[in-house]
Structure 1
Amino acid sequence: MKSLRTFYRLAVPFWRQGSQWLGWLMLAGIIGMGLLIVQINVLINAWSKTFYDTLGEFDTGALYALMGRYALYLSAYVLIVVALDWVRKALVLRWRQAMTDQFTHAWLADQAFYRLGLNGEPDNPDQRIAEDVNIVADLSVELVASFIINMAQVGAFMSILWQLSGVQTFSLGGYSITLSGYLVWIVVLYTLAGSLITHWVGRPLHRLNVDRQHYEADFRASLLRKREHAEQIALYRGEAVERQHLADRFQAIAGNWRQLMGRERNLSLFTVSYERVSLIIPVFAALPAFLAKTITLGGLMQIRSAFGAVQGSLSWFIKLYPKLMHWSSAVERLGQFEQAIAASRCQAKVPMVGDYLCVNGLDVLRPDAEVLLEDVSVQVAQGEWLLITGRSGIGKSTLLRTLQGLWPYCRGGWQLPPGRSLLLPQKPYLPSMPLRHLLAYPAIEVPSAVRLMAVLQQVGLPGLARRLDEPSEWSRELSGGEQQRIGIARALLYAPDTLYLDEATNQLDEDSALALLRLVREELPNCTVIGISHQVALTALFDRTWSPN
């Protein structure tokens, strides 16, 4: 029931949208085509009785006519199944796209992705968005549609099986029992017992599937980290350690896989036996009537077909149990992710906006509530350049992140200056994208090529001007100093009203750093700059220095 409640919460945003009438139409089409398949199965069931009776009479002409009718049924069945599968996939894609947008927006909004990483982030958010969303969308459509179609088939064939069963009298312990529709009672009791045993044997699969997704994602993330930090690993000659680390990660996958193999083996021992026994039960149950010549061979085959249809549909839970466990584990992981995002949003600090930066009595804390900076008070006038000084590790960088609203562990309030701001960290973010988009980041609008080439010339990277449309692994290709020049180029292009510099030139020699900050001062004369730096030569560029201690 918990999985169903979580699923309802995840599904509501898509299915309650007024614009999703097409999604409802596609779902209705899937169910409608499924009901047509049920109707064709009913016609084939009636056809089977006629066919076997005709076969017993050796009526060749009638047999050819029946084979032609079966070809029509088969053609219609194939066309409907293919169309149903296409519409189902289209609906899954539509729902997955909407749910992916929902989760990526929630994850990226209000810097939730950053705060989640500070304390107790759910493991592998990338896997939850990329894979778990796909699993939930795909299996939900399949499970819901198949359940409705199977229940319709139960209704259609139950009445046929009831009529074929007739009224039978049994003797048990000296008592005579008359039972109507005895085959229906047999199939209901058989599938009910099978469903209970299936759940009892397969229940541990839910937790094992949750763990499997976790271990697989951890292993994949470890491989990605090795690729991202290939140079550092190579410089340290750390290949042996990395191999051991990956082997340890894979051992978790292997251990989980062995547990899954054992549980699925036990489940298969029962479900395969259940399916095979179900094929012979209707024949044995109807055999006395056949031997007594109260039903024909065609009637016996019709009973077998109807019993199989009812038993197969009622066994929906048994046949799809592994998929149900896979689905429920993905629902649980997405539910946890959604709750973690909501909890992180409650941590967000929204400061006031005034005419200038004003901090009064602000306490900056560590995640464990230990005080990092206490009673911080400072005012920065519009257009002023302020250099924050102090020894390493006292919390200067954390203060900048607090002022930006990123660091949630703080007490007190502050007032931000108007306009937009930009914080340049020590190591710029350089994703693999065309250089023109890399320079414009975080703006969506990209400046003209002339403007981009001019800025590259200004920051000392003229050699990159011919590569504006070239995507590359920039974080690997460019040196630390070149990456920081890209950061300054971004500031010039973005032209923020307030610029925060967190050791943004520490990879450059002091003369180069001084030249770049002079360029910023010339190009952005009205920009308020709050910087952290241990490069002594830069002090002269700032209007004043201030220490949070």
Structure 2
Amino acid sequence: MFRSFFPSPIIFFSSVVVWTAVAIIIWFGFLSDFVPMLEYLEEFVPQAVEGERPPFLTVDKLSIYIYILVAGFGFTLIWFFIERNKWYVWSVFGSTVIILVTYYSVQISVYFNGWFGNFFDLIQKALTEPNSVKLSVYYGELITVVPILIVSISVLILLSFFVNHYVFRWRTAMNDYYMENWPKLRHVEGAAQRVQEDTMRFASIVEGLGVAFVRSMMTLIAFLPLLYSLSQKVTELPFFGRVDGSMVYVAIMSALLGTVLLAVVGIKLPGLEFNNQKVEAAYRKELVYGEDSGDHAQPQTVKELFAAVRKNYFKLYFNYLYFNLARYAYLQGSNFIPLAVLGPTIVSGAITFGVFQQIRDAFDRVEESFKFFANSWTTIVDLISIYKRLSAFESIIYQDEVASHDDAPQNA
């Protein structure tokens, strides 16, 4: 699944974690102190002015963007020399591109959080003080985001196109790997489905979950400090009073509660999904044999196989019944948490409408990031079942490789 596409998967993914940690330590440890010294950048980017909405690109932001690009593509260059396998361009370089573009989209979200805060304050002023805001000023604010939206939308479209090709290349790598070992695998029940369907679904789900997880981590890094800073404007929490960084703690507790809840009620689902594919494969195989031989797909045999399919589906439906009850109750209820905890602050008039929108947006993004497993649990269940099937499938290759190694003559 992984070694067909990535070079030395265990070492590769471990190096990703280590490289990322080292890059963060270097930046926040001492390199960020040199940003004010980059005076030559001031000629190319505008400067933030206190009290005004900051521009999209500043010296500080441009500096960290350059650093992240160097760190990202520096990692790909190192692996170019360490181990450049057949799929290096897509697995190493392509993964880096996807992560960097994901980081860019998170920074866009951070910018819009500040932009909407100022814009909603403008709306509040216009509504409470009629004719205090000129129409030209109102439309002028809207126009400022048009170039950013055009670039952002274009990047997302190109990323979607790139990801489609990325997933198919991964599927191709797995397909080629299994076909090279097809003589060992062809007798496995459902072998054709493993190669044709599971490879496609596995690559697609892993890519989707991987990008979502990375985006969640980047969102936390970007929005946690922002939410903590905005929380200073929250006067008090119900029952708890004044708490520094209050909205951060509320987001963490809300997400943790939902994740634990769904993990507990959905613990049986991966096994049921795995069994579901087994009984489906047995039923499908008998029908396929019946197309060529009258000895197969007899009424009694088909009846028994389909009864096994029905029994597993009904168990799956029952488990999803109470799982979805917990899932939707939590996901819908969590939407009202920021409204409830901000109640004392709102009724006291301690914040403007723009700040309220900023807090709520930052809270939602932080909570959604912490709720990654809760939101993705059904997809994770599907992935686990596919992983189990492909692992059992690949175990035949590994067993033969071990047996071949053991049978090889040993040097004295």
Answer whether TM exceeds 0.5 for this pair.
Answer: yes
Q: Distance in 2 between matches of 1:29 and 1:259?
A: 42
Is 1:210–1:333's contact at 8 Å kept on the other side of the alignment? yes
Q: Look up the equivalent residue of 1:330 and give its one-letter code.
A: I
Contact 1:205 1:325 in 2 (8 A): yes
Partner of 1:142: 208
Displacement of 1:178 after TM fit? 4.8
Match of 1:29 among 70, 77, 97: 97
1:187 aligns with 2:251: yes
Tell me if the contact between 1:212 and 1:256 (Cα under 8 Å) persists in the aligned partners: yes
| Superposition deviation, residue 319 in structure 1 | 0.9
Where structure 1 has 5 or more consecutive residues not aligned to the other structure, the ranges are 1-9, 352-549
Letter in 1 for 2:120: Y
Deviations 1:486-520 (A, max 9, x none): xxxxxxxxxxxxxxxxxxxxxxxxxxxxxxxxxxx
Question: Could you list the per-position Cα deviations for residues 177-207 of structure 1 after superposition, in whole angstroms to 9, with x for gaps in the alignment?
Answer: 6521000000001101111111001111110
Equivalent of 1:158 in 224, 237, 249: 224
Supply the distance in 2 between the matched residues of 1:270 and 1:309 (Cα, whole angstroms): 21
2:328 matches 1:253: no
- How many percent identity over aligned positions? 24
1:89-110, CA deviations, whole angstroms, 9 ceiling, x for partnerless residues? 21111111111111221232xx
Q: Is 1:53 matched with 2:121?
A: yes
Q: From 218, 226, 241, give the equivalent of 2:282.
A: 218
Structure 2 counterpart of 1:198 = 262
Equivalence for 1:502: none
Distance in 2 (alpha carbons) for counterparts of 1:251 and 1:98:
37
2 CA distance for matches of 1:168 and 1:310?
17
Q: Which amino acid aligns with 2:389?
A: R
Three-state SS of the structure 2 residue aligned to 1:18 is coil
**Match runs of 1:329-368 below 5 Å:** 329-344=385-400
Indicate conservation of the 8 Å contact 2:234/2:342, yes or no. Answer: no
1:286 aligned to which of 339, 342, 356 = 342
Superposition deviation, residue 266 in structure 1: 1.9
- In the alignment, the residues of structure 2 paired with residue 113 and residue 12 of structure 1 have an alpha-carbon distance, to the nearest angstrom, of 18
Q: As a proportion of its length, which structure holds more strand?
A: 1
Q: Is the 8 A contact 2:258 2:374 kept in 1?
A: yes
Pairing partner for 1:208 from 272, 278, 281: 272
Which runs of no fewer than 5 residues in structure 2 stay unpaired? 8-82, 127-132, 408-412
Q: Contact 1:167/1:180 (CA < 8 Å) preserved in 2?
A: no
Letter in 2 for 1:65: G
Specify the SS of the correspondent of 2:395.
helix
Superposed CA deviations along residues 63-104 of structure 1, whole A, max 9, x for unmatched, are: 222332344444334323222222112111111111111122
Question: Which residue of structure 2 aligns with residue 107 of structure 1?
Answer: 182
2:27 equivalent in structure 1: none
Q: Please give the alpha-carbon distance, in whole angstroms, between the structure 2 residues aligned to 1:301 and 1:168.
A: 13
- Specify which structure has the bigger relative contact order, considering alpha-carbon pairs within 8 angstroms and separated by 6 or more residues: 2
Contact 1:167 1:178 in 2 (8 A): no
Root-mean-square deviation over aligned CA pairs: 2.7
- Give the whole-Å Cα distance in 2 for the aligned partners of 1:250 and 1:97: 33
How do 1:460-471 residues align onto structure 2 when only pairs under 5 Å count?
none
Match of 2:106 among 11, 17, 38: 38
Contact kept? 1:278, 1:308, Cα under 8 Å: no
Maintained 8 Å contact 1:290/1:297: no
Q: Does 1:327 align with 2:383?
A: yes
Counterpart amino acid of residue 175 in structure 2? T
Report if the CA contact (8 A) 2:5-2:173 is conserved: yes
Q: 1:117-516 alignment to 2 at 5 Å?
A: 117=187, 122-166=188-232, 178-229=242-293, 232=294, 242-344=298-400
Confirm or deny: 8 A CA contact 2:251 2:363 kept in the other structure. yes
- What code does the residue aligned with 2:156 have? V
User: TM-score normalised to the size of structure 1?
Assistant: 0.55
Aligned residues of 2:237 and 2:342 also touching (Cα < 8 A):
no
Q: What residue identity is the alignment partner of 1:293?
A: G
Is the Cα contact below 8 Å between 2:233 and 2:350 reproduced in 1?
A: no
Note if contact 1:154-1:310 (Cα within 8 Å) is conserved in structure 2. Answer: yes
Whichever residue aligns with residue 324 of structure 1, its letter is I
Aligned counterparts of 2:256 and 2:95: Cα–Cα separation in 1: 29
More helix per residue: 1 or 2?
2
Say which one has the larger Rg: 1
Decide whether aligned partners of structure 1 residues 159 and 124 sit closer, same or farther in structure 2, where only a CA change above 3 A counts.
same
Q: Any conservation in 2 of the 1:44–1:73 contact (CA below 8 Å)?
A: no
Deviation at 1:249, TM superposition (A): 2.3
Amino acid corresponding to residue 82 of structure 1 in structure 2? I
Pairwise CA distance, 1:330: 1.2
Contact 2:238–2:341 (CA under 8 A) maintained in structure 1: no
1-structure distance, mates of 2:235, 2:115: 29
Q: What is the deviation of 1:172?
A: 9.6
Query: Structure 1: which amino acid aligns with 2:336?
Result: I
Q: Is the 8 A contact 1:42 1:156 kept in 2?
A: yes
Contact persistence 1:194–1:274 (CA under 8 A)? yes
The residue type equivalent to 1:21 in the other structure is Y
Paired with 2:218 and 2:100, the residues of 1 have a C-alpha distance of 11
Q: Report how many residues are paired.
A: 323
TM-score calculated relative to the size of structure 2: 0.72
